[in-house]
Amino acid sequence: MRKIAALVVLAALITGCENMYDDDGIPRIRTQADAAAYNATVSSESEKLVCMRESVIGTNIRQFICLTVAQREIIMVQAQAQARALADTLNRTGLGAGAN
């Protein structure tokens, strides 16, 4: 009987902990259907969510990651700028692909 009571208490604690995190008024997106429902409520294309299951560094468990179209574009532009900066540095130091 104690084991059952302990499991009930543990389940209640785990459920309660999930509600501790602030969601900034945006419901947690856990499925593609949730993303589609959210996207139906926004008017701007840049505010729409794009969700994918991705491998996260440090774990083998794939997570459902959602970003807005605008966030994805910002990340892409930053990555391209960093790649250009690295290529420029390698070329300037003679370590680039064209170096012998």
Residue 39 pLDDT level (bands cut at 50, 70, 90): very high
pLDDT at 98 over 90: no
DSSP string spanning 78-95?
Answer: HHHHHHHHHHHHHHHHT-
On the 0-12 / 13-18 / 19+ scale of CB atoms within 10 A, 67 is: middle
Once rounded to an integer, what is the mean pLDDT over residues 27-38? 87
What's the pLDDT at 87?
93
Residue 86 pLDDT level (bands cut at 50, 70, 90): very high
**Residue 64's beta-bridge partner residues?**
53
**Residue 53's beta-bridge partner residues?**
64
Would you give the end-to-end CA distance of the chain in angstroms? 75
| Mean pLDDT taken over the chain | 82
pTM value? 0.60
